Every structure is written in C-alpha cells, then in structure tokens.
Chains A and B, each alone.
Chain A
Amino acid sequence: MSLLTPELGLLFWMLLSFLIVFGVLAKFGFPVITGMVDKRRAQIEEGLAAAKEATERLQSVEQEAAHIIEEAQKRHAEIVAGAMADSHRIVDGARQKAEAEATAKVEAALSQIEIEKQKALGELRTEVAMLSVEVAEKVLREKMAHSEAQSSYIERLINEAESEQPKPNA
C-alpha cells in the first residue's frame, strides 16, 4: 500500500468518524467544560474582588475606629481636665466661702463678746459703784460720827481727788 496516496475508504471513514466526534463533543463535551471553567474563573475573580473590597473596607473601618478612639481619648482628656479644673474651682470656692464664713462668724462672735464684755463691765461698774457707795455710806456713817474725822476725811478726799485729777477714768 502506497504511503503517500490517501485511500478513499479511509478518507471516508475518517471524515465520518471525525464529524461525529466533532458533533458530539462540540455539543455535549467542550462547551460544558469550558463553560464550567469560565464560570469558576468568574467566581474566583468575583471572590478576589470581594475580598479586596472587604480588606479595603476593613482598613477604612479600622482607620475610622482609630480616629474615633483618638477623638474619644481627646474628649476624655478634655473632660478630665475640665472636671479637675471644676473640682479645683469648687473646692477653692468652698474653702474661700468657708473661710469667709468662719472669719465672719469669729468676727461676729468677737464683737458679740466685746459687746457682752462691755455690757458686763458696765454692769459690774454700776454694781461696784453702788456697792462702793453703800460701803462708803456705811463707812461714812461710821466715821462721820465725829466732825473732826469728817473734816479730815473730806480733806483727804479732796487730796485724793486732786492727785487723781490728771488721770480721770483710769
């Protein structure tokens, strides 16, 4: 059989077989496989895109979270500082008020005491004056039974009065 001359019968059977193979595979074989591969590829690409998007979103969320935390810390510091200042102010105010009140009370008490003292002193003086007058009366009545005595006493009194003159109300 010659090698280089194609046989008609073989051409026929080859053509028939190849057409059948091509028909069957083009309809039921390759499109199914390539279709599935394309679908899977699309899914993988979709998944990758979704993952990328998710990572990006996560990053932005993380940034946002960091931002929020930073803000919160700032606010926190501000609040704490404010509160400290407030408390200092309040405490200072309270102390000042208390001090002022205390001073006022002490002053009032002192003045009251002074008044009371003055009153007591006045009363005491009056009492002493009365007593001394009474005593003086009794002494005088006793002593002044003698005119001599009376006149000497008067003398002395006058002397005393004279000596006490430069410092009255001692």
Chain B
Amino acid sequence: MKAWLRHTALLVALLIGGGLLGSVYASKPQGEPAEPQEVAVDGPEVVSQEEAKLDVVGLIFEHIGDSYSWHITTINGHHIEIPLLCIVRSQEGRWYAFSSAKVAHGHTHEGFFINHEGEQWKGKLVAHNSEGELYRPLDLSITKNAAGVMFNSLVVIVIILGVAGWYRRRNYDHTAVPRGFVGAVEMLIVSLVDDVIKPSVGKDYKRYSPYLLTAFFFIFVSNLLGLVPIFPGGANVTGNIAITLVLALATMFAVNVFGNKEYWKEILWPDVPVWMKFPIPLMPVIEIFGIISKPFALTIRLFANIMAGHTVLIALTCLVFITVNMGATMNGVMTVFSVLLSVFMLVLELLVAYIQAYVFTMLSAVFIGLSRKEHHAAHKPTQQHK
C-alpha cells in the first residue's frame, strides 16, 4: 500500500514537472526547434508552433474517421506514416492499384486525388471524368481501418488457433489442463458458451457458438487494440459504422436464414386478435420492422460506444495542448488533470471493450434463440398458470 502511494506521488510530481516544462518550452519564441518532450507526450497531436489554435474537432475526426495512409506521428512537421494500398475503379471500368503515398499531400496519380474541398467526398479519392465533372470511383482501397480489420483478424486467428494448437500439441489429451494465457482464453470461451450462448440459443447452440465466439473475439480484440495508441493498434475499427454494420448483418443473416417455422409464424401471423393482423397487417408490419431494427440497434450500439470512448480519450489528451497558451501554471495543472482523466478513461474503456463485445454476443445469441424457439404457444400458458 505504501509503495503504491509513493509511486502515485512520484507520477503526479513528474506530471506536474513535465507539464510546467512543456508549457515553458511551448511559450518560447518561434524558430526554436521543437522539443522532444512534446513529441513524446502524444505524437499525432503535436502542436505545431505555427498554428495559433489547435483544431481539436478536426483532430478527433481525423482519428475516429478513416484515412488512406496510416499516420503514426509527426516530428518537426515531417509526417511519419505507413502508405497503404489504394484500389479504385474509374468510370471507364479500369482498375487502378497504387500506394497511398502517391496521392498524399495533394498529389495526383492517374487522375485520382484526395478531395480536400467541399463537403461532398471530403478526404476521399476522387477523379474527373471525361466531361470534367468530379466523381467518386468505386473505391476498394485498403484504408487504415481496413488494414486494422486485417491486422485484428490476424490477431484473433493467431490467438484462437494458438489455443487450439495447444491441444493439438498434446494430441487432444483431454486430461491436459491449460494454464496462463491459454487457460484464460479457454476460460473466456467456456464462460461465454455456458453463460451466454447455451442459455440464450437453446438446444442447438453448438451450431451457432463458432459464429458467436468469432464475433465476440473479433469485437473484443478490436476494442482492445483500438485502445493501444501506437501502430498497429489505435485504428478505430469497432468505432466505425461499416464494421459494426457487417457484424450486425451477419447476426441478422444467422437469425433470419436459419429461423424456423415458429419464428416466421410469430412474425407473419402472431398470437394476437385477428383484427390486429387482418385486413390491415398491423402486427406483421411491426414484427417485420423488428427484423430491421434489431441489427440496426446492434450496429449503432457498438459503433457509438466505441466511437464515444475514442472521442473522449482524444479530447482529454488535447486538454494539454489546448491549455498551452493559458500560462505555465494552468497548463501544468491541466496536464496532470488530463493524464489522470485519460488513465481513468482508458481503464473504463477496457471495461467497455469487454462489455460491448459481451453485449453484442449476448444480444446476437438472444436473437438467434428467438428464431429457434419451439412450441412457444404450448409452453407459456402452463408457466403462467403456475
């Protein structure tokens, strides 16, 4: 306990000292080389001294949005970024593949350039057609988020196949009990199967558990890697609506394609008075709307939660740079405040990372379970009588 207090006190002292130093350097006259301290605190968000004001909103949107290259940091105005692959199809039907470095910083490659003007297609690859009009080509570029998805997928595969390989190396000897990381992953899987999937899905849960577990681990790993501030983490993968939409559509697919007769009967001819479903199909319309609203809710819930977490984290980090011009004392205090709050938020986001993955899996399992219900009408009255 004492050691813990001492460490905390040391950390706070360092933060105050660092904050004061940073603000002193920041208020130095122009022309001085940027101090490494600023770079070390938060790479991408370094305040270039030429800019009087920091564009916090732009910064946040840059992070939670997508981009064609993976920006790591900027040192002395020099961008360090990993170029990614751009794949586009022009209106003429030709495919082009090129490095994002070729269209960086306003360059044009094969007529394609990143649009920086106007609200439409801002930050996207665009080109001019033969009539000179601006158009958006079919864009299958491996953007930062796409690369993040691939990296996260790889991590998930490595983790799960690693755990499965642990058993394979022991010749599927079921008396072997894993420890450490393998044991932790196994425990997670067992807890999900036993506490979420089995009770929610029902008797043929084994058919669905690979999908639900894949979804859980993909979301969980993506959420966690999204909290890692340096490459290859930090991509706002699960905070992007396209990613959560695909996951939700996968659940919708599993629910509606493998739904049984009972499920479709509940939707098209539910157990309500006849006037509610004929001649005006009031209940069926509501039920059909439910088919759409369920994946919509899944999409928005995950996307909004993760995006909000990232936004708050960046905003808190930016406190340091926003308060630079308010004087050394204010800046020092705010630095301490910012880092402490960031730590708190990161810990909270760790919890959110698990909870959101869990909630997505649980709701998917519940929706699937509803689509596999049997003898609904036969069971309920007996339960009510009791």
Chain A interface (Cβ within 8 Å of chain B)? Answer: 1, 3-15, 17-18, 20-22, 24-26, 28-34, 36-37, 39-40, 43
What mask results when residues 155 to 192 of chain B are scored 1 for a CB within 8 Å of chain A, else 0?
01100110110011000101101000000011001100
**Is B266 at the interface (CB under 8 A from chain A)?**
no
Contact partners of A21 in chain B: CB under 8 A = 153, 156-157, 214, 218
What mask results when residues 130 to 153 of chain B are scored 1 for a CB within 8 Å of chain A, else 0?
000000001111110110011001
From the candidates A1, A14, A28, A36, name the one contacting B172 in the complex (CB within 8 A).
A36
Q: Please list 27 pairs of residues, one from A and one from B, whose beta carbons are closer than 8 Å in the complex, sorted by A's number.
A: A1-B65, A3-B65, A6-B240, A7-B139, A7-B143, A9-B142, A9-B146, A10-B146, A11-B246, A12-B140, A13-B150, A17-B150, A20-B153, A21-B153, A21-B157, A24-B157, A25-B156, A25-B160, A25-B161, A25-B210, A29-B210, A30-B210, A32-B167, A33-B167, A34-B193, A36-B172, A43-B174
Residue pair A8, B66 in contact (C-beta under 8 Å): no
Residue pair B246, A22 in contact (C-beta under 8 Å): no
Residue pair B189, A30 in contact (C-beta under 8 Å): yes
Measured CB to CB, the nearest residue on chain A to B162 is A29
Contact partners of B160 in chain A: CB under 8 A = 25, 29-30, 33
| Complex alpha-carbon distance, A168 and B109, angstroms | 186
Would you give the shortest CB distance from A13 to chain B, in whole angstroms? 4
Residue pair B161, A28 in contact (C-beta under 8 Å): yes
**Is B124 at the interface (CB under 8 A from chain A)?**
yes
Within 8 A of A (CB), among B193-212: 193, 206, 209-211
Chain B interface (Cβ within 8 Å of chain A)? Answer: 61, 64-67, 87, 122-124, 138-143, 145-146, 149-150, 153, 156-157, 160-161, 163-164, 167-168, 172, 174-175, 177, 185-186, 189-190, 193, 206, 209-211, 213-214, 217-218, 240-243, 245-247, 250, 307
Residue pair B211, A26 in contact (C-beta under 8 Å): yes
From the candidates A1, A4, A9, A30, name the one contacting B209 in the complex (CB within 8 A).
A30
Measured CB to CB, the nearest residue on chain B to A13 is B146
Contact partners of A28 in chain B: CB under 8 A = 161, 164
Measured CB to CB, the nearest residue on chain A to B212 is A30
Contact partners of B164 in chain A: CB under 8 A = 28-30, 32-33
CB-based closest 4 A-B pairs: A6-B242, A26-B210, A39-B174, A13-B146
From the candidates A9, A11, A18, name the one contacting B153 in the complex (CB within 8 A).
A18
Would you give the shortest CB distance from A62 to chain B, in whole angstroms? 30
Contact partners of A6 in chain B: CB under 8 A = 240-242, 245
Residue pair A9, B141 in contact (C-beta under 8 Å): yes
